[in-house]
Structure 1
Amino acid sequence: MNEQEIQKLRVEAETRVRELGPEHPGSLDARAAWARVVGDEGRPGEAARMFGELAQDYTRVLGPQHPDTLLARHNHAYCLGLSGNAVTAESLARDVAADCVLVLGQDHPDTLNVRAGWARWIGEAGDAAGAARMLRPIVEEATDSLGPVHPDTLTIRHQHAHWVGRSGETIQASRLMTAIADERGEVHEPDDPMALTARHDRAMWAGEAGDVSLARDGLWQLVEDATRILGSNHHDTLVIRHNHAHWTGEAGDPAGARALLTQLVGDCVRVLGENHPDSENARRGLAWWTYGPKANDPAPVFATAVGNSSVEAGRKAKDPKPAKPAKPAKAAKAPKPPRESKRKARTEPAPEAAAASAAPAA
């Protein structure tokens, strides 16, 4: 969704507020739709602010435990976590999950998704093993109530596999993610974003579990598909390209990794900006595959690639593997009168693996 479409939703929300009043449910729903797409476009901090205001307004108009209020509270916590405040997100998500259990029931699909979202922020706040333990029974409950290949069950299973891997069980995570990717391929169209995410994470955990060739080859094909589906300048495409370059180097081709990262650095700077974290990650990756342990002094390569060096002085470089960014949980689409009654909380798979645990061989 481009900026023009976001502005269209902004105008629609402002029109609803002007014509119906700020506390009319239709106005609140239009604002929620606007906030959702702001988050989807990679602006979680702004979306968190919008959902925080919406949660307060929904609470005042409908009450703290109305399903629409719960959804706004869930999305507020989710976007707040994506913007970097996992500790506060975990606290808010815990409260939303408790209210969902009271209002909707333990096994309601929205409750399952909200509980899975809470588990994610437990992990992001530093307790990966705790997140994996919490998600295990949620997977079982979702499988029993929705079925093993229901889209929501697959998403919760994906979350569980991620935190199993983050807690150190990489082989088990690879096995779980392979099954999920295969089943995603059966449930979704090949170009569906969730199918692409599952393929990406299958490759990443295969690499973490030791099968670097499988990781490299899987990501190579995914680069082609992401470029075709999302476009060459899409942030997710850039991330997949970085991960492909990393596993190319790990598979014994440092020259290939350097070539891929040299091009990626220029594209990241052009698309994301000189100081974006992923531009910095790409520069560090290029430094490592060029200099290895001497990557603290990568100025010659950066002078060629981007015109300057911005690697932190004295910091040992690794080849970071930036994760595919998770998208904010989606609020229901703003309904047209008559107002829809059914709404659904969503959760998304957590992003995969950050920097390599050990520096790759040059």
Structure 2
Amino acid sequence: MLSNRFLQVESLNEAGDHAEAISLGAGLAADRARVLGADHPDTVKSRRQHISCLVGADEYGDAGRLAAELAADSARVLGPDHPDTLESRNLHAACAGLAGDHAEAARLFAGLVVDQSRILGADHPSVLGSRFMHADCLDHAGEHAEAARLAAGLAADQNRILGPDHPDTLQSRRQHIRCLVGAGEYGDAGRLAAELATDSARVLGPDHPDTLASRNLHAACVGVAGDHAEAARLFADVVVDQSRILGADHPSVLGSRFMHADCLDDAGEHVEAARLAAGLAADQNRILGADHPDTLKSRHLHTGCLASAGEYGDAGRRAAELAADSARVLGPDHPDTLKSRFVHAYSLAAEGGLADAAPLAAALAADTERALGPDHPETHMVQQLVRLLTQ
């Protein structure tokens, strides 16, 4: 009966019915503890299953707390070097990262890597996997340079152990590039991303999702390195292939379309960028809904492109509407709301409506300083606009 209940929980969790799986899984773990004992392997197995169900339901806080307790109990019952103890520690670290405590997750993974290397050997697949997560958590914690160093070392070791064409090696190379971007090493990141895109196409095929992701990363690296025209060309090609392979409404396609328009705008092609951004915002409104953050973000890009193209009347009208929507959806102090208010005031002033723009800019300056702080670049930009309008 208990075994059947375990399978039932597993089926519910795999089917996406996480709430029911959590309820049944918690009950099963309690019943096994009562019948078999708290330290019985089947009880421990059910506790781990319960944690997995919580992760599936995005209940990362509860999952992390239970995983920490399970790791401690596993070490006490099975010993600190037992594979199940190591697995429980891995689950604890992963839950900490999913809950947003990336620094703590990195610390847990670092300790796990040391013990796994001693027990399993440095080249064991579990060690390589934990090293990947360690670097990933460091990157998310803002330690980009150290994360890049670890990712580079991991990719080199995977190249030796698994071979240069193994998917895990390619994945670690991609992680290394992302860390380099975070560290501001755009030149190296762009060069490595171009090489990775070529290798991914050769190994996995040109239509593989990882190949498309590598091409997208290459385009992004070129853009942040300052070659906006080339980045726009690369994103345009990615959009064509992504649309063909994934479908025009796929989230990755929408993301690449945004980057294409943004790079065109940065390259000075404001009119074309505005056209693309308007089309993207309309499609996102249809697919995601009018209040989705991505829809609002594309509308903001559209208004900025219009202003850069000198279409101040249209830009100001749209920016005023967007500022109201952003305040309602995201909150009045959200950076995107403040940015839309800036475009509104700037466009009014550029079109000659100085008397209307000045009080809007003054109110925005006060709100921006309060929300973002006196030293924030956005605060300085708004204050500069106020000075220009009051000269």
CA contact (8 A) 1:265 1:306 kept: no
| 1:60 paired to 2:115 | yes
Aligned residues of 2:112 and 2:130 also touching (Cα < 8 A): no
Which residue in the other structure is 2:236 paired with?
A: 178
Q: Percent identity?
A: 30
Shift in alpha-carbon separation, 1:36–1:83, aligned structure 2, 3 A: closer
Higher helix share: 2
5+ long unaligned stretches in structure 2: 1-15, 17-53, 76-83, 384-391
Equivalent pair of 1:48/1:76 in contact (CA under 8 Å): no
Report the counterpart of residue 27 of structure 1 in structure 2: 88
Q: Distance in 2 between matches of 1:77 and 1:282?
A: 36
Instruction: Report how far residue 55 of structure 1 moved.
Output: 4.5
**How far 1:299 sits from its partner (Å)?**
6.5
**Counterpart among 283, 301, 315 of residue 380 in structure 2:** 315
State the match for 2:59 in structure 1.
Answer: 8
1:203 Cα deviation after fit: 2.0
* 1:128-157, Cα deviation, whole Å (9 max, x unpaired): 222212222222211211112211111111
Provide the residue aligned with 1:338 in structure 2: none
Q: Which of 359, 368, 381 is the aligned partner of 1:300? A: 359
Give the residue type in structure 1 aligned to 2:238. Answer: I
Give the match for residue 309 of structure 2.
Answer: 251
SS at match of 1:159: helix
Kept in 2: contact 1:284–1:317 (CA 8 A): yes
The structural deviation recorded for 1:206 is 2.8
Amino acid at match of 1:315: H
Q: Which residue of 2 aligns with 1:165?
A: 223
Task: Answer 1 or 2: higher relative contact order, Cα 8 Å, separation at least 6.
Answer: 1
1:113 Cα shift? Answer: 2.3
Q: Give the drift of 1:179.
A: 1.1
Q: 1:217 to 1:105 in 2, by over 3 A?
A: same
Superposition TM-score, scaled by structure 2 size: 0.65
Distance 1:60 1:271 in 2: 47
| Gap change, CA 1:18 and 1:183, over 3 Å in 2 | same
- 1:123 and 2:181 equivalent? yes
Structure 1 gaps, min length 5:
319-362
- Rounded to whole Å, the distance in 1 between the matches of 2:122 and 2:349 is 56
1:101 aligns with 2:166: no
Which secondary structure does the structure 1 equivalent of 2:165 belong to? coil
- Partners of 1:136 and 1:160 within 8 A in 2: yes
Structure 1 residues 235-275: Cα deviation after superposition (integer angstroms, max 9, x where no partner): 43332222122112223322322233334334444544555
1: CA distance between counterparts of 2:358 and 2:122? 55
Q: Number of aligned residue pairs: give it.
A: 310
Cα 1:308–1:11 change in 2 (3 A) is closer
What residue identity is the alignment partner of 1:50?
A
RMSD: 3.9
- Distance, in Å, in 2 between the alignment partners of 1:92 and 1:275 is 38
How far residue 197 of structure 1 moved from its aligned partner, in angstroms, is 1.2
Offset of residue 80 of structure 1:
3.9
Shift in alpha-carbon separation, 1:211–1:110, aligned structure 2, 3 A: same
Whether the 8 Å CA contact 1:184–1:195 is kept in 2: the answer is yes
Tell me the TM-score normalized by structure 1.
0.69
Q: CA-to-partner distance for each residue in 1:315-349, whole Å, 9 max, x for gaps?
A: 3459xxxxxxxxxxxxxxxxxxxxxxxxxxxxxxx
Q: Quick one: distance in 2 between partners of 1:81 and 1:9? A: 20
Matched, 1:191 2:249: yes
